[in-house]
Amino acid sequence: MEKISLQSQLLPKLTPGGPAAKNPAEKFGSALGKALNDVNKIQAKANDGIKKLQSGQDASLPDVMLSMAQADISMRLLVQMRNKVIEAYQEIMRMQV
């Protein structure tokens, strides 16, 4: 079984000397795009595991269940990120100039 680490897969390390500090030119949009691609890959992996399990191919039930849980958590994280971005946008729009 492989260890699941969503934080390291989806979010860049923002510590001093981490990947974000070494490449300050990385834009928010590209980081968000990478997170979307990662979530998409995790979802596809879970779907492949489900299809293999349904068709009777060599697939371990615990591994499929873990990949489904990982896909669920990553999607929930992405939805919360979206909600925070929308909330911040709405707050900016309510500001008086």
Residue 87 lies in a domain: yes
Give the relative orientation of helices 28-55 and 61-94 as an angle to the nearest 10 degrees.
150
Residue 52 lies in a domain: yes
* Per-residue pLDDT, 58: 87
Residue 70 lies in a domain: yes
Residue 5 lies in a domain: no
* Per-residue pLDDT, 31: 84
* Per-residue pLDDT, 39: 95
Residue with the two structure tokens 């191919």:
57
Residue 18 lies in a domain: yes
Domain count, the chain: 1
* Per-residue pLDDT, 38: 95
Residue 2 lies in a domain: no
Query: From CA 88, how far away is CA 85, in angstroms rounded?
Result: 5
Residue 1 lies in a domain: no
Closest CA to 55 of 67, 47, 63, 66: 47
Residue 44 lies in a domain: yes
Q: Which helix (H) or strand (E) holds 92?
A: helix 61-94
Ranges of residues in the chain with a pLDDT under 50 are 14, 25
Query: From CA 22, how far away is CA 16, in angstroms rounded?
Result: 9
- Structural domain of residue 48, as residue ranges? 12-94
